[in-house]
Amino acid sequence: MPQESELRELFKLKNVNFDIFEMLYSIVCSACSNIHFFIEGERVIFRSSTGFLYVWFSNAADEASRTSPLVVSILSPQRLDSDRFSLVVPCQKGYMHHISITSVDEFDEQFIGWIKDASAFSRYALAY
């Protein structure tokens, strides 16, 4: 994984389980073609033609585990209907859907479908 040591340090600083990001990275690389990511401040941005998936850190720590959830923001051309999203915000390119991830178990087929659709939207619709 590119920039792994920098990422590990950032996750340690933010008290977030790095295993969650490693699984997300693996899913994105498997499900999407021609993508790359970069670190911008305290965010990790996955992109093809433009950003489609943003990973950042919540300030709210879980009392039981004392870790903070990873927040994944997914760009979509339309509003997705799911109670899994903590917030949906209209933006210039469509809708940004925010979901807090506390376990790799949350990366199910529905989540992977959202990632694939966001990548395709980024690659084709936003490139023009």
- Poorest-pLDDT segment among 23-32, 57-66, 99-108, 110-119: 57-66
pLDDT tens profile 9-60:
887 877 777 888 899 999 999 998 888 888 888 889 999 888 899 998 876 5
pLDDT at 64 over 90: no
What percent of the chain has pLDDT above 70? 87
Pick 111 or 12 by higher pLDDT: 111
Kindly report the number of other CB atoms within 10 A of residue 2's CB atom. Answer: 10
Q: 97: part of which helix (H) or strand (E)?
A: strand 94-101
Q: Where are the alpha helices (DSSP H) in the chain?
A: 4-14, 18-31, 109-120
pLDDT tens profile 74-89:
999 999 999 999 999 9
Look at residue 5 and give its three-state secondary structure.
helix
Nearest to 37 by CA among 50, 89, 66, 71: 50
Kindly report the number of other CB atoms within 10 A of residue 67's CB atom. Answer: 15
Domain chopping of the chain, boundaries: 4-125
Packed helices 18-31 and 109-120: angle between N→C axes, nearest 10 degrees: 60
Residue 89 burial (CB < 10 Å; 0-12/13-18/19+)?
Answer: exposed
pLDDT at 128 over 60: no
What is the Cα 31 distance to its own chain's centre? 13
